[in-house]
Structure 1
Amino acid sequence: MEITAFVGKSGTGKSFKSIGVARELGIEYIVDDGILIKGNKLLAGKSAKSEGSKIRAVKRALFMDEEHREEVRSAILSENPERILIIGTSDNMVEKIARALELGEIDERIYIEGVSTKEEIETARKHRREEGKHVIPLPTFEIKKDFSGYFMDTLKVMRMKSYGQEVYEKTVVRPSFSYLGSYTISDKVIREIVKHIASKVEGIERAYRVYTENYREGIVISVDIFILNGYNILETSTFLQKEVSKVVESMTSINILKVNVNIVKIKIKNSQ
């Protein structure tokens, strides 16, 4: 197995550039920030950026947890790649990752300064300093369950190739350990959002009760509603499910696992 390292200080745009670098070199597998990536798929591991503190994030990125380390090692052994790209903030870091995963010596090193201009590096640093933004070289749907409740956005990157355009997707997140500060979203806020959505749906008299179940991957929302007589129950409740899932996810970045709608009463208009 041939090991290539891609090295650059934190906030210089390594992860943003990584897919392009890997494709230019014909490398299909990337180890970055605690995860093993093949193309646009997460094969194993958990992103360090999903950790709640800087120290835990560093430990995750260096594969210091045995269970995490063995998960990624087993995936590498199973895939048996010819070449693999390791991304790190220093020579020492990529060497530690290679040793932890038992990949052997690093054959080639590429530095961010060799593939990015000074202007690109400074722009990346500015985004990190002012907005706390980090890039993960995977489509949002691949990492969403590990980032439920973390602000994230999809980043589509277009590269010009000799045979045309190539578009691939990355994800921008602001980790909870960002120096910009942490944030929490209470269950009460979720309930108020859902009640407001329900009040705007034609055919629903009101949301009687909203309650949530919290899981590591996201939340399950259940809502009891009073529906007005004369409206199609299935169509109305299905529309509410879709609206709740879409709007709550958009407003909070929380991964919505399921929306349960319970019809508890049919109300006749103008009845007391």
Structure 2
Amino acid sequence: MEVYALVGPSGTGKSYRAVMLAARLGCEIIIDDGLVIKGNKIIAGMSAKKQPTRIGAIKAALFTEPEHRKTAVDAIAGQAPKKILILGTSKGMTNKITEGLGLPGIKEYINIDQIASAKEIRKARIMRTQHSKHVIPAPIVEVKKSFPESIIHPLQVFMRRHGQKDRRSWSEQSVVRPTFTLYGKFSISQGALVAIVNYAALAVPGVVAVKHTHIIRDDQDVTIELSVVVSINYKLDHISKELQKVVKLQLENMTGLTVNFVNVTIVDIQAEEIC
């Protein structure tokens, strides 16, 4: 099985172009926002766009719920596709989906700007930010099962099938208004992220204090720089690895963001006081 990834920030037109790219690459299955799509059918999953919150949407897109993940894994195994296309906002996100679903490593990353012009991307961003319009690469008859109240209109996409230069066809997609857009905007402040990281770090045995926390965020990807004081009674390499594991797990579970790196610096060692 070959796995390809279409990568680009939210609202740049990935879902709209997924069907055309899949046809060009010969991918039989598209994985997009928590759905497993084959041809004109949604064969498994639950749409992230149906979730009531953006955090819920991110978790659905990453297949974090065990039952959701299992149905997707079983559906893919049953189809035994030779090629799969995964959509994500970053390489880290598509890698996480691949690992979670037990798929082979990604063969090729295609950035949205490789298949869409700057003008097309700007237009897609306007449709997303000003009108909250999202595309699902499946026909309305399929999408209505999950979005009976949120469908806006169908969208026709003209494409050429892989290896069939003389055969062209139309494919229907659906434009929807996600549930989470009905409740207004939601964002996680830098301070909240720092608080989560500090709380998780201080829960690790041997960590005495957190001196400095710096979070670098790129859309849904996060890099954490952490400076801590630890107890002299713990092995430094063990406590550093445990810190990385716990902080990554806690932040990803609470926010749905993808943690790429947790860089730990031990700035001081504290001995226990003798009474």
The interval holding the TM-score normalised by the smaller chain is: 0.5 to 0.7
Query: 1:229-248 alignment to 2 at 5 Å?
Result: none
1:176 to 2:151 alignment:
no
Corresponding residue SS for 2:106: coil
> CA separation of 1:72/1:63 partners in 2, compared to 1, >3 Å: closer, same or farther?
same
Distance 1:46 1:10 in 2: 19
- C-alpha offsets along residues 219-269 of structure 1, whole Å, 9 cap, x if unaligned? xxxxxxxxxxxxxxxxxxxxxxxxxxxxxxxxxxxxxxxxxxxxxxxxxxx
User: Which structure has the higher relative contact order (CA within 8 Å, separation 6+)?
Assistant: 2
Contact 1:132/1:180, CA 8 A, preserved across alignment? no
Which moves more between the two structures, 131-140 or 142-151? 142-151
AA at the equivalent of 2:33: D
1:16 to 2:22 alignment:
no
AA at the equivalent of 2:56: R
Matching residue of 1:3: 3
Matching residue of 2:37: 37
Paired residues in the alignment total 182
Matching residue of 1:163: 166
AA at the equivalent of 2:50: S
AA at the equivalent of 2:86: I
Distance 2:149 2:7 in 1: 30
Contact 2:139/2:172, CA 8 A, preserved across alignment? yes
- Structure 1 residue 164, shift from structure 2 partner: 5.9
Distance 1:122 1:12 in 2: 7
Distance 1:39 1:104 in 2: 21
Larger radius of gyration: 1
AA at the equivalent of 1:152: I
Which moves more between the two structures, 114-123 or 171-180? 171-180
Corresponding residue SS for 1:68: helix
Distance 2:109 2:37 in 1: 19
Which consecutive unaligned segments of at least 5 residues does structure 2 have? 186-275
Corresponding residue SS for 1:146: coil
Distance 1:118 1:66 in 2: 38
- Structure 1 residue 2, shift from structure 2 partner: 0.8
- C-alpha offsets along residues 86-108 of structure 1, whole Å, 9 cap, x if unaligned? 11010110000001101021111
Matching residue of 1:110: 110
**Structure 2-normalised TM-score?**
0.63
- C-alpha offsets along residues 52-88 of structure 1, whole Å, 9 cap, x if unaligned? 1101010000000000000000111111111111110
Distance 2:20 2:36 in 1: 16
Contact 2:22/2:85, CA 8 A, preserved across alignment? yes
Matching residue of 1:134: 134
Corresponding residue SS for 1:177: helix
Corresponding residue SS for 1:22: helix
Query: 1:1-272 alignment to 2 at 5 Å?
Result: 1-159=1-159, 162-163=165-166, 165-178=168-181, 181=184
Distance 1:19 1:104 in 2: 21
**Structure 1-normalised TM-score?**
0.64
Q: How much is the aligned-residue C-alpha RMSD, in angstroms?
A: 1.7
Corresponding residue SS for 1:147: coil
Contact 1:132/1:179, CA 8 A, preserved across alignment? no
> CA separation of 1:84/1:160 partners in 2, compared to 1, >3 Å: closer, same or farther?
closer
Distance 1:153 1:181 in 2: 22
AA at the equivalent of 1:171: S
Identity across aligned pairs (percent)?
Answer: 44
Distance 2:157 2:173 in 1: 7
Which consecutive unaligned segments of at least 5 residues does structure 1 have? 183-272
Contact 1:138/1:171, CA 8 A, preserved across alignment? yes
- Structure 1 residue 180, shift from structure 2 partner: 7.5
Contact 1:138/1:169, CA 8 A, preserved across alignment? yes
Distance 1:23 1:114 in 2: 16
Corresponding residue SS for 2:9: coil
